[in-house]
Homo-oligomer: A and B are copies of this chain.
Amino acid sequence: MPQSQPSSTEITQILARYVAESNFEDIPQPVREEAIRTFLNWLGCAVGGSHHETLDIAIAALAPFSGPAQASILGRNEKFDILHAALLNGISSHVFDFDDTHLRTVIHPAGPVVSALVAYAEYAPVTGKDFLHALILGIEVECRLGNSVTPEHYDVGWHITGTTGVWGAAAAIGKLLSLDTERMAWAFGLAATQPVGLREMFGTMTKSFHPGRAAQNGLTSALLAARGYTSSHQAIEAKRGWANVLSTRHDYAEITENLGSTFEILRNSYKPFACGIVIHPTIDGCIQIRNQETLAADQIQSVDVLVHPLVLELTGKLTPQTGLEGKFSVYHAAAAALIEGDGGEEQFSDRAVQDAGIIALRGRVKAVSSTSIASDEARISITLTDGRVIALHVPHAIGSVARPMSNSELENKFRGLTTSIVGAEKTAELIELCWKLESLEAVSQIATVASL
């Protein structure tokens, strides 16, 4: 453990004071803009995932115990108390694995933080400015905690989104509640003592439970601390505190240095495609070729892709049977992208995986891996029945840090997720509300439009 510069008994205090004393006016414009992009992306995912079986089951199980109808379940017509709403919206925002990623830590930052904020903002009036401020600070706390214990904490088996997400949600709601430094530290203590998420749960419904429960736990922590429920003042750095108990590595400088001058949300990224990030370069390239050439499937004799070794290790399934299995088949993903021009949830549905045209084409896709190819890179070569060869190099896939999704691409992703659920008109209205989030009098109107 590297001992860091500030007295190592003050780490939690420094972080709590920063959140308690931060002013929105001091948040730079690019940070605010990225926060809006993060919010838009989260909102699309939450609405898009809202009719997944996972959410149906959670709602059926928990509805009998919900409090007053305080907050919306986005994309649906049920209303729950804010604690349950934070959990349920958090589940749906992660259920497609399509939400944002802080690449250094692999935290999905918005799930815990924004799910708590959106629920709370339906209970008490929250302006767009205060909402954005809380969102930025929540993600800052969450990702700094993550930076301080990366990679050992994740490597040993913690789902870092859930374990740091509780902190993020507590910080965000604590800011809305105007907690002073002492109470913010108590909220952190309550968050520290409720980590959520083992990686063993990946591949089951419990994975998307993690950001939801983290949102609910963080919200609960802030509400308790606001009333004077006491906790440790040294939740991070104490001998038996969060960092020592949950990680073999902790670099406290990651938490305390440059607070207020650097912002982790600027390192956030958004997935263009509804699958593991390793096949994104292939999908990206196939869509580019399709759009340039307007090819029909029967013109294609063979597709050769040269990819990073992880692609075949993780997504080498030749004959997927279900939509979920399709996410683990670079062959399916390439064929679906060439025929349908996208890599959204629709292209990873049971329908797409069982589509005769896609099945036929995927049989003509060959993938070869090479250590000379980077993880966000692909080389694609398509041989046509007329003998022509179309080759494309994707040096950095769309959605990578080097080539972030544009606002317009984020809007397209959003439309793909929400239109079938809330309709085109409300989808357009939601996109407009998101871009003017900072000037909204009451953020609750977004949840009103986003629910049924």
Chain A residues in contact with chain B, CB under 8 A?
A: 54, 57-58, 60-62, 64-68, 70, 81-83, 156-159, 162, 186, 189-190, 192-201, 204-206, 209-210, 213, 220, 223-224, 226-232, 234-235, 238-242, 244-245
Least CB distance, A218 to chain B, in whole angstroms: 13
Cβ contact of A201, chosen from B162, B224, B227, B232, cutoff 8 A = B232
| A231 contacts B245, C-beta separation under 8 Å | no
| A232 contacts B204, C-beta separation under 8 Å | yes
Instruction: Using A65-B82, A200-B238 as known contacts, list a sample of 11 further A-B pairs with CB atoms less than 8 Å apart, ordered by residue number in A.
Output: A57-B224, A61-B226, A62-B223, A157-B239, A157-B244, A192-B200, A193-B210, A194-B194, A194-B213, A200-B240, A200-B241
| A196 contacts B193, C-beta separation under 8 Å | yes
Which residues of B have CB within 8 Å of A227?
57-58, 60-61
Which residues of B have CB within 8 Å of A156?
240, 244-245
| B189 contacts A193, C-beta separation under 8 Å | no
Least CB distance, A89 to chain B, in whole angstroms: 15
Which residues of B have CB within 8 Å of A58?
224, 227, 229
User: Roughly how many angstroms separate A65 CA and B216 CA in the complex, as a whole number?
Assistant: 12
Which residues of B have CB within 8 Å of A157?
239-241, 244-245
User: Roughly how many angstroms separate A238 CA and B61 CA in the complex, as a whole number?
Assistant: 27
User: Roughly how many angstroms separate A62 CA and B194 CA in the complex, as a whole number?
Assistant: 17
| A61 contacts B239, C-beta separation under 8 Å | no
Which residues of B have CB within 8 Å of A61?
223-224, 226-227, 229
Q: Which of A200, A220, A239, A245 has the most CB of B within 10 A?
A: A200
Least CB distance, A237 to chain B, in whole angstroms: 9
Least CB distance, A137 to chain B, in whole angstroms: 21
User: Roughly how many angstroms separate A193 CA and B161 CA in the complex, as a whole number?
Assistant: 12
Which residues of B have CB within 8 Å of A158?
245
Can you identify 25 A-B contacts, CB atoms within 8 angstroms?
A57-B227, A60-B227, A61-B229, A62-B220, A62-B224, A65-B67, A65-B68, A65-B70, A65-B223, A66-B67, A67-B67, A67-B81, A156-B245, A162-B193, A186-B206, A192-B198, A193-B196, A195-B195, A198-B232, A198-B235, A199-B240, A200-B239, A204-B230, A204-B231, A206-B230
| A206 contacts B223, C-beta separation under 8 Å | no
Cβ contact of A230, chosen from B190, B205, B235, cutoff 8 A = B205
| A241 contacts B198, C-beta separation under 8 Å | yes
Q: Which of A64, A65, A68 has the most CB of B within 10 A?
A: A65
User: Roughly how many angstroms separate A70 CA and B247 CA in the complex, as a whole number?
Assistant: 40
Least CB distance, A205 to chain B, in whole angstroms: 5
User: Roughly how many angstroms separate A70 CA and B65 CA in the complex, as a whole number?
Assistant: 8
Least CB distance, A221 to chain B, in whole angstroms: 9
User: Roughly how many angstroms separate A54 CA and B224 CA in the complex, as a whole number?
Assistant: 10
Which residues of B have CB within 8 Å of A235?
198, 200-201
Cβ contact of A205, chosen from B195, B198, B231, B239, cutoff 8 A = B231
User: Roughly how many angstroms separate A445 CA and B62 CA in the complex, as a whole number?
Assistant: 25
User: Roughly how many angstroms separate A199 CA and B213 CA in the complex, as a whole number?
Assistant: 22
Which residues of B have CB within 8 Å of A57?
224, 227-229
User: Roughly how many angstroms separate A238 CA and B157 CA in the complex, as a whole number?
Assistant: 10
Cβ contact of A209, chosen from B64, B190, B239, cutoff 8 A = B190
| A198 contacts B240, C-beta separation under 8 Å | yes
Least CB distance, A85 to chain B, in whole angstroms: 10
User: Roughly how many angstroms separate A241 CA and B200 CA in the complex, as a whole number?
Assistant: 5
User: Roughly how many angstroms separate A66 CA and B60 CA in the complex, as a whole number?
Assistant: 17
The chain B residue with its CB closest to the CB of A85 is B65
Least CB distance, A359 to chain B, in whole angstroms: 28
User: Roughly how many angstroms separate A429 CA and B2 CA in the complex, as a whole number?
Assistant: 60
Least CB distance, A330 to chain B, in whole angstroms: 25
Which residues of B have CB within 8 Å of A224?
57-58, 61-62, 209
| A196 contacts B198, C-beta separation under 8 Å | no
Least CB distance, A214 to chain B, in whole angstroms: 10
Least CB distance, A9 to chain B, in whole angstroms: 12
| A234 contacts B81, C-beta separation under 8 Å | no
User: Roughly how many angstroms separate A240 CA and B230 CA in the complex, as a whole number?
Assistant: 32
Question: Contacts A200-B235, A241-B200 given: A205-B229 contact, CB under 8 Å?
Answer: yes
Which residues of B have CB within 8 Å of A186?
204, 206
Task: In the A-B complex, list the 9 residue pairs whose CB atoms are closest, starting with the nearest.
Answer: A157-B240, A157-B245, A61-B227, A206-B231, A200-B238, A199-B240, A65-B81, A200-B241, A200-B240
